[in-house]
Structure 1
Amino acid sequence: MTNLLVELQTEELPPKALDTLSKAFGNEIAKSLAAQHLTEAGSVATCYGTPRRLAVHITNVLDHSADEPFSKKLMPKAIGLDAEGKPAAPLLKKLQALGLGADAKLVTKTEGGKDFLYVEDTKPGIPLAEGLQAAIEDSAKKLPIPRVMSYQLPDGETTVEFVRPVRYLTALYGEDVVPVTFLGLKAGRVTRGHRFMSAGEMTIDSADSYAEQLKNACVMVSYADRRALICKLLNDKAAELGGTAIMPEALLDEVTALTEWPVVYASEFEKEYLSVPEECLILTMQLNQKYFPLRDASGRLMNKFLLVSQLVAADGGKEISAGNARVVRARLADAKFFYETDQKETLESRVPGLKNVVYHAKLGSQFERTDRVRAMAGLIAIGLHASPEDAARAAYLAKADLRTLMVGEFPELQGIMGQYYAQHDGEKADVALAIREHYQPRFAGDALPSTPVSLSLAIADKLETLTGLFGIGQMPTGEKDPYALRRHAISILRMVIEKNLPLKLSDLLELGFEIERHVEGVKDARKELRDFFFDRLRVMFKDQGYTAQEIDAVLSLNPDQLNEIPARLAAVRSFEKLPESEALAAANKRISNILKKIEGEVPTKIDPSLFESDAEKALSSAIDQVEPAALADFEAGHYEEMLSRLSTLKTPVDEFFDKVMVNADDPALRANRQALLARLHHLMNQVAELAKIAQ
Structure 2
Amino acid sequence: MPELLVELFSEEIPARMQRKAAEDLKKAVTNALVDAGLVYEGAKAFVTPRRLALTVTGLPARSPDTREERKGPRVGSPQQAIDGFLKAAGLGSIDEAKIETDPKKGEFYVAHIEKQGAEATDILATLLPKVITGFDWPKSMQWGNGGLTWVRPLRAITATFGTDNDEPVVIPFKSNTVASGQTTFGHRFLAPDAIWVKRFDDYVQALEKAKVVLDIDRRKEIIRADADNLAFAQGLSVIHDEGLLEEVAGLVEWPVVMMGSFDPAFLEVPEEVIIATIRANQKCFCLRDSSGKLAPFFIITSNQVAADGGKTIVAGNERVIRARLSDARFFYQTDLVLPLEHGLPKLEESVFHAKLGTQFQRVERLVKLSGEIAPKVGANPELAKRAAMLAKADLTTGMVGEFPELQGIMGRYYALAQGEPLAIANAIADHYKPLGPTDLVPGEPVAIAVALADKLDTLKGFWSIDEKPTGSRDPFALRRAALGVIRIVTDNNLRFPLEVEPDLLSFFHDRLKVTLRDAGARHDLVDAVIGKDSNDMLEITERVEALSKLLGSEDGKNLLAGYKRAANILAAEEKKDGKGFSAPVDPALLSLAEEAALAEAIASVDVAVAAKVGANDYQGAITALGTLRQPVDRFFEAVLVNDPDAAIRANRLSLLSKLRDTMRQVADFSKVAG
Same fold by TM-score, threshold 0.5 exceeded? yes
- Structure-2 residue corresponding to 1:54: 52
In structure 1, C-alpha distance between the alignment counterparts of 2:361 and 2:466, rounded to whole Å? 19
Aligned length in residues: 660
Partner residue in 1 for 2:286: 293
CA–CA distance in structure 2, aligned partners of residues 253 and 538 of structure 1? 33
> Once the two structures are superposed, what CA deviation does each residue of 1:234-273 show, in whole Å capped at 9, x if it has no partner?
2122222321112211111111111111111211111111
1:252 corresponds, among 245, 251, 262, to 245
Taking the aligned partners of 2:481 and 2:334, their CA distance within structure 1 comes to 33
Structure 2 partner of 1:590? 568
Deviation at 1:22, TM superposition (A): 1.0
Kept in 1: contact 2:46–2:214 (CA 8 A): yes
Matched, 1:136 2:111: no
Aligned residue number for residue 323 of structure 1: 316
* Residue 360 (structure 2) aligned to one of 348, 367, 382: 367
TM-score (norm 1): 0.87
Aligned match of 2:165 = none
Q: How has the CA–CA distance of structure 1 residues 182 and 354 changed in structure 2, closer, same or farther, with 3 Å as cutoff?
A: closer
The aligned counterpart of 2:386 is 393
Q: Please state how far the C-alpha of 1:563 moved relative to its aligned partner.
A: 1.3
Contact 1:616 / 1:660 at 8 angstroms: preserved in 2? no
Matched residue SS, 1:325 = helix
User: Which secondary structure state, in structure 1, belongs to the residue aligned with residue 187 of structure 2?
Assistant: coil
Indicate yes or no: 2:290 matched with 1:308: no
Indicate the SS of the match to 1:457: helix
Displacement after TM superposition at 1:611 (Å): 4.5
CA deviation vs aligned residue, 1:183-208 (integer Å, no higher than 9, x gap): 34321111221111113322224443
Note the C-alpha offset of 1:324: 0.7
Closer, same or farther: CA 91–380 of 1 in aligned 2, 3 Å:
closer
The answer to whether the Cα contact below 8 Å between 1:170 and 1:189 also exists between their aligned partners in 2 is yes
What is the distance in 2 between the residues matched to 1:299 and 1:377?
35
Deviation at 1:367, TM superposition (A): 2.7
Please tell me whether residue 551 in structure 1 is matched to residue 533 in structure 2.
no
- Contact map agreement 1:646 1:684 (CA 8 A) in 2: no
> Residue 354 of structure 1 aligns to a residue in which SS?
helix
Relative to structure 2, which stretch is displaced further, 533-542 or 189-198? 533-542
Correspondence 1:669-684 to 2 at 5 A: 675-684=654-663
The one-character-per-residue Cα deviations of 1:418-475 (angstroms, maximum 9, x if unpaired) are 1000110111111111111111111222110121111111111212222233234333
Identify the residue that residue 454 of structure 1 maps to in structure 2. 447
Q: Distance in 2 between matches of 1:657 and 1:180?
A: 83
In structure 1, what is the Cα distance between the partners aligned to 2:467 and 2:38?
52
CA distance, structure 1, for counterparts of residue 322 and residue 566 of structure 2: 72
Distance 1:213 1:376, change over 3 A: same
Q: 1:687 aligns with which of 641, 645, 666?
A: 666
Code of the residue aligned with 1:574 in structure 2: it is K
Name the stretch that deviates more: 386-395 or 484-493. 386-395
Counterparts of 1:563 and 1:354, CA distance in 2: 35
> What is residue 72 of structure 1 aligned with on the other side?
69
> Which whole-Å CA distance do the structure 2 matches of 1:104 and 1:165 have between them?
53
Change in 2 beyond 3 A, CA 1:129/1:660:
same
Give the drift of 1:532. Answer: 2.1
Q: Aligned-pair distance for 1:57?
A: 1.6
Change (3 A) 1:169 1:683: same
Measure the CA separation in 1 of the matches of 2:74 and 2:366.
77
Quote the residue 1:126 is aligned against: 118
Percent identical pairs in the alignment equals 37
> Amino acid of the residue matched to residue 693 of structure 1?
V
Which amino acid in the other structure matches residue 337 of structure 2? K
Does 1:214 pair with 2:189?
Answer: no
> What's the offset of the Cα at 1:45?
1.5
Write the deviation string for residues 151-178 of structure 1: whole angstroms up to 9, x where unpaired. Answer: 123xxxx312123221111111243222
Q: Give the aligned partner of residue 188 of structure 1.
A: 181
Aligned match for 1:563, one of 520, 530, 538: 538
* Secondary structure of residue in 2 paired with 1:417: helix
Q: CA offsets, 1:314-344, max 9 Å, x none? A: 0000000001111111111110000001111
Counterparts of 1:436-475 in structure 2, within 5 Å, are: 436-475=429-468
Query: What CA distance in whole angstroms lies between the structure 2 residues aligned with 1:465 and 1:658?
Result: 58
Pairs within 5 Å for 1:38-117? 38-39=38-39, 43-68=41-66, 70-75=67-72, 78=75, 97-99=88-90, 111-112=102-103, 114=106
In structure 2, C-alpha distance between the alignment counterparts of 1:679 and 1:585, rounded to whole Å? 11
Are 1:575 and 1:581, in contact at CA under 8 Å, matched by a contact in 2? no
CA distance in 2, matches of 1:387, 1:595: 56
Distance verdict in 2 for CA 1:67–1:654, change over 3 Å:
same
- Letter of the 1:168 partner, please give it: A
Structure 2: gaps of 5 or more residues:
163-167
Q: Which of the numbers 598, 601, 608 marks the counterpart of 1:619?
A: 598
- For the aligned residue pairs, the C-alpha RMSD in angstroms reads 3.1
Q: Is the 8 A contact 2:285 2:300 kept in 1?
A: yes
- Give the distance between the partners of 1:661 and 1:370, measured in 2 at CA: 68
SS in 2 for 1:343: helix
Per-residue CA deviation, residues 346-389 of structure 1 (Å, 9 max, x unaligned), is 11333343333333334333333223212222232212222222
SS in 2 for 1:402: helix
Contact 1:13 1:51 in 2 (8 A): yes
1:645 to 619, 627, 640: 627
The Cα shift of 1:484 comes to: 1.8
Aligned equivalents of 2:134 and 2:627: distance in 1?
58
With over 3 angstroms needed to count, the CA separation of the structure-2 counterparts of 1:533 and 1:205, relative to structure 1, is closer
State the secondary structure of the residue aligned to 1:505.
coil
**Structure-1 residue corresponding to 2:511:** 536
Q: Which amino acid aligns with 2:525?
A: E
Q: Give 2:414's match in structure 1, choosing from 414, 421, 440.
A: 421
Going from structure 1 to structure 2, the CA distance change for 1:66 and 1:679 (only over 3 Å counts) comes to closer
SS in 2 for 1:187: strand
Amino acid corresponding to residue 524 of structure 2 in structure 1:
Q
The residue identity in structure 1 corresponding to 2:562 is L
Distance 1:286 1:455 in 2: 30
Tell me, yes or no, if the aligned pair for 2:379 and 2:446 is still in contact at 8 Å: yes
**Residues 312 and 186 of structure 1, relative CA distance in 2, 3 Å threshold:** same
